[in-house]
Amino acid sequence: MFGPKIKLPADLLERAKKHADEAGFESVDAFIARAVEKELERLTSGSDGDDDEETRKRLEGLGYIS
């Protein structure tokens, strides 16, 4: 994939690669693009009713926290 690039901490990139592979994404780029897309959809859909526990579970599922 050519185009804009972002820098991620090495540990975050490794976790993203692991989850991308486990989830069957064709690349870590595709996985990260989908994760960002889903988060932006959530933020713009007006669903401000998420509680802290639900947010924590989502971030764990995406591999951002453990």
pLDDT in tens, 28-45: 999 999 999 999 988 887
Which pLDDT belongs to residue 37?
93
Which pLDDT belongs to residue 50?
58
pTM, rounded to two decimals: 0.62
The type of residue at 21 is: D
Q: 14-26, pLDDT tens digit by residue? A: 999 999 999 999 9
d(CA 43, CA 25) in angstroms, rounded, equals 23
Instruction: Look at residue 7 and give its three-state secondary structure.
Output: coil
d(CA 19, CA 30) in angstroms, rounded, equals 11
Which pLDDT belongs to residue 46?
62
